[in-house]
């Protein structure tokens, strides 16, 4: 079955101002690593990576 193509009315350049940050976080209880994903504005990217 083919997928339908749906046109969107949003601004095409709006999504380029964000970056997806994926961090590995170690659980203090089990010691296993989990991954935390978040969308960060490009202006706050360096601050998000330092934490």
pTM over 0.75: no
Can you give the pLDDT at residue 11? 65
pLDDT digits (tens, 9 = 90+) for 23-41: 999 999 999 999 999 999 9
Whole-number pLDDT of residue 1: 65
Q: Phi-psi region for residue 2, left (φ > 0), alpha (ψ -120 to 50) or beta?
A: beta
d(CA 41, CA 16): 9
Contact indicator for 25, 33 with CB cutoff of 8 Å: yes
Domain locations in the chain as residue ranges: 19-44
Per-residue pLDDT, averaged over 3-21, amounts to 74
Nearby residues of 25 by Cβ (< 8 Å), 6 or more positions away: 33, 34, 35, 36
* Measured distance CA(30)–CA(35) in Å, rounded: 14
Residue 4's pLDDT is 76
Q: How many CB atoms lie within 10 A of CB 45?
A: 13
pLDDT at 15 over 60: no
């Amino acid at each position: 079955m083919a997928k339908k193509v749906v046109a969107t009315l949003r601004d095409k350049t709006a999504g380029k101002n964000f970056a997806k940050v994926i961090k590995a976080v170690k659980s203090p209880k089990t010691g296993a690593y989990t991954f935390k994903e978040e969308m960060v504005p490009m202006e706050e990217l360096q601050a998000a990576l330092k934490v």
